[in-house]
Each structure stands twice: as structure tokens, then as C-alpha cells.
Amino acid sequence: MIIQRKSDLQGGPRDASGPGWRSLRMLTKTERMGFSLNETWITAGASMTLEYKHHLEACYCISGRGVVTDLATGADHVIEAGTLYALDQNDRHTLRVMGDEDMLLISVFNPALTGDEVHGADGSYSA
């Protein structure tokens, strides 16, 4: 059984951040679950274009409000508390946080992240 406490992980190597985001990697490749689980905060007003070429990701919004744009189709989708979006085709997308409240997401990656990844210039994580 694996028990992780947020307070034990904060400020350590699993507490990753970059421009407009901070992500606490609660489960990583180390735990050998086949996926990783993250608590991710996106800063109010942030806009990020991402494309996870080597990972599938699902995000469940806990709080805040934003719009995710599928860059292949141009379709916009409102994301708010209680909404899940899944990037099941390695979808290139832009996530924009609307309003003055940060967005809190719980995200799952497959394959699992190692825990110290940051976005490359193209918005992806390495394989």
C-alpha cells in the first residue's frame, strides 16, 4: 500500500513548476502503478499551449474556470469544477485560465511521469 501526504512532498523533487503552473507529483513511475497522479495548479490568467507527444493525460477540474482549445479542430471547451478532459490522441491544445482564480486540476499521465519533468519548448514532456 502506498500512502502519500501532500505536506511531505511539498518543496521536494516532486514539487515541479514552470511559467504559469505548479504540479505536485503524488504518484510517479517509482511507485510502479503504470500511471502518475498529480495535483496541478494553473495560475489565473495563464495560457499554455501543450502537446504531450509521449503521454496520454486526463485532467479533472476541482476549482477555477478555463477553456481548453483543441488546436486540430479549433473547438473550445469550457473547463470548470466537475469537468474532465482527456487528451486521448496526444492532442495539441491550449489551456487558458479565465477569471482571477487559479485552476486546480487532478491529472493522470500514462505512461507514468518520473516526477521532475518540465515542459519542453514544444509544450511536451520527454519520452
**25-84 pLDDT, tens digit each:** 999 999 999 999 999 999 999 999 999 888 899 999 999 999 999 999 999 999 999 999
Given a cut of 80, is residue 123 above it in pLDDT? Answer: no
pLDDT at residue 115, rounded to an integer? 66
125 or 47, greater pLDDT: 47
**Neighbouring C-alpha atoms within 13 Å toward the C-beta of 66:** 29
* Beta strand extents in 1-127 (DSSP E only): 15-18, 21-27, 36-42, 47-50, 56-63, 65-70, 76-80, 84-87, 93-97, 103-110
pLDDT at residue 127, rounded to an integer? 61
pLDDT at residue 53, rounded to an integer? 85
pLDDT at residue 120, rounded to an integer? 58
pLDDT at residue 121, rounded to an integer? 65
- Report, as an integer, the average pLDDT of 96-123: 84
Q: Please provide the average confidence, as pLDDT, over all residues in the chain.
A: 92
pLDDT at residue 125, rounded to an integer? 61
pLDDT at residue 114, rounded to an integer? 82
- Report, as an integer, the average pLDDT of 84-112: 96
> CA–CA distance from 89 to each of 27, 51, 58, 70 (Å)?
23, 10, 11, 11
